Structure 1
Amino acid sequence: MLKPHEIVLESFRIIESEVGEHTFDAHEWPVVRRIIHAAGDLDLIHAVSFTRDAACEGVRALQEGVPIVTDVNMVAAGVHKPARAALGVDLHCFIDAPEVAQSAREQERTRSYCAMRKAVHDIGSAVYVVGNAPTALFALCESVSQGRVSPRLIIAMPVGFVSVVESKAQALALEVPVITVHGRKGGSAVATAAMNALLLMATDQTS
């Protein structure tokens, strides 16, 4: 029976065998490979997109100790703790903050939207990971467009049927590095996989 680490390596071997040649560079491919592995979906190789040298910029930001902000707890829970600790990178998610719930009620907005606005105000420049809520991505895009924040990287991977494609399009139009999965696909597991690939590269690991 294969050990856990061996299972991951064998999965990567199968992915690489079935994908064959590709155009992703040395920083991009580990991200794409982990996304495919997390989703069990080889078709995602055609959907993942990087702007402004995003993978390399993400690794550099993490090596500099730039904090991570996630839209939901499920994304935060999956972030690789040993790699994050080794880099001294803080992790923030404000979805359950009492003031966020209050703002959401008062403004008739989603908690995800208000949580992201709070993150922009409280944390500022960071690696932002959106793996669930397009409203969180809209809030981040608005803040960037308004000059309130300049993220070192945005992992833009909300999932679903309402406003998902539109929110990703807004992110891709920003003058900041973005990693996204085009279309309706995405989700917490996929966003976390991308984040963990960058963390592992930042600590000189690739698997």
Structure 2
Amino acid sequence: MNRVVHPIEEESYRRLRARLDTSHFPPLTRAVVERVIHSAADLDYATDLVMDEADLAKAHAALHAGAPVVVDVAMVGAGITRRETVCRLGDAEAGPGLTRSAHAIRLAHKQVGPGALWVIGNAPTALEELLTLDADPALVIGLPVGFVGAVESKAALRESGLPAVSNVSEKGGSAVAAAALNALLYHPTSAEEKL
């Protein structure tokens, strides 16, 4: 199903592309970079984001085949359009050495099993916990924000070898994490491109 783009969004992308040449990026990488920049009005994401086109292609296929989408907080889920998400933060409890966010990731992992797309935009501890599990993800969008643990958790994600979208700086957050997933949702499948 093709998405109808509002004229304001079209103009926003026109202005973004007038200020930043993204034509050298492969298609899915370009889609993620542009949508993240659009969500934050921050051109620096063009050099801050880290991802691999082959990983994005596999994740795009999994997403459009119905793979579950897990989010760390409801705000990330609220930003993801046209798709149901799993968020277990409301069921989670903190304990000794365990944040609510980390517990929520454990609960979600038990619920969805392998092959999910994980979208973490808030809590570095959620990303850290995910890296301890045998989640076998289709993709991890690890864009938690903050001055404590965010950079380190994203570096650990990149070092893990898991298919991922992350960034190098402290920046991130719910809006950009949702935007990265939406970029894959909105990008047409080969069947849609033939229509």
TM-score with structure 2 setting the length: 0.89
Counterpart position of 1:112: 101
Separation in 2, partners of 1:52, 1:163: 27
Contact 2:29 2:53 in 1 (8 A): no
Counterpart position of 2:130: 140
Matches within 5 A, 1:1-207: 5-51=6-52, 53-81=54-82, 84=83, 90-97=84-91, 100-101=92-93, 104-105=94-95, 107-125=96-114, 126-143=116-133, 148-202=134-188, 204=192
**1:192 to partner: Cα distance:** 0.5
**1:202 to partner: Cα distance:** 4.8
Q: CA 1:200–1:150 in structure 2 vs 1: closer, same or farther (change >3 Å)? A: same
**1:7 to partner: Cα distance:** 0.6
Contact 2:22 2:30 in 1 (8 A): no
Q: Which residue identity lines up with residue 133 of structure 1 in the other structure?
A: A
SS, match of residue 196 in structure 1: helix
SS, match of residue 89 in structure 2: coil
Q: CA 1:176–1:52 in structure 2 vs 1: closer, same or farther (change >3 Å)? A: farther
Q: Which residue identity lines up with residue 40 of structure 1 in the other structure?
A: A
Q: CA 1:202–1:154 in structure 2 vs 1: closer, same or farther (change >3 Å)? A: farther
Q: Which residue identity lines up with residue 50 of structure 1 in the other structure?
A: M
Q: CA 1:21–1:115 in structure 2 vs 1: closer, same or farther (change >3 Å)? A: closer
Separation in 2, partners of 1:66, 1:45: 27
Q: Which residue identity lines up with residue 48 of structure 1 in the other structure?
A: L
Instruction: List per-residue Cα deviations over 1:24-62 (Å, max 9, x = no partner).
Output: 101110111010011011111110110372321221111
Separation in 2, partners of 1:95, 1:142: 18
Which sections of structure 1, spanning at least 5 residues, go unmatched? 85-89
| Count of residues in correspondence between the two structures | 186
Counterpart position of 1:87: none
Identity of counterpart residues, as a percentage? 40
Contact 2:26 2:53 in 1 (8 A): no
Separation in 1, partners of 2:66, 2:107: 21
Across the aligned residues of Structure 1 and Structure 2, the Cα RMSD in angstroms comes to 1.7
Separation in 1, partners of 2:28, 2:60: 8
Separation in 2, partners of 1:200, 1:164: 27
Which sections of structure 2, spanning at least 5 residues, go unmatched? none
TM-score with structure 1 setting the length: 0.84
Q: Which residue identity lines up with residue 14 of structure 1 in the other structure?
A: R
Contact 1:63 1:202 in 2 (8 A): no
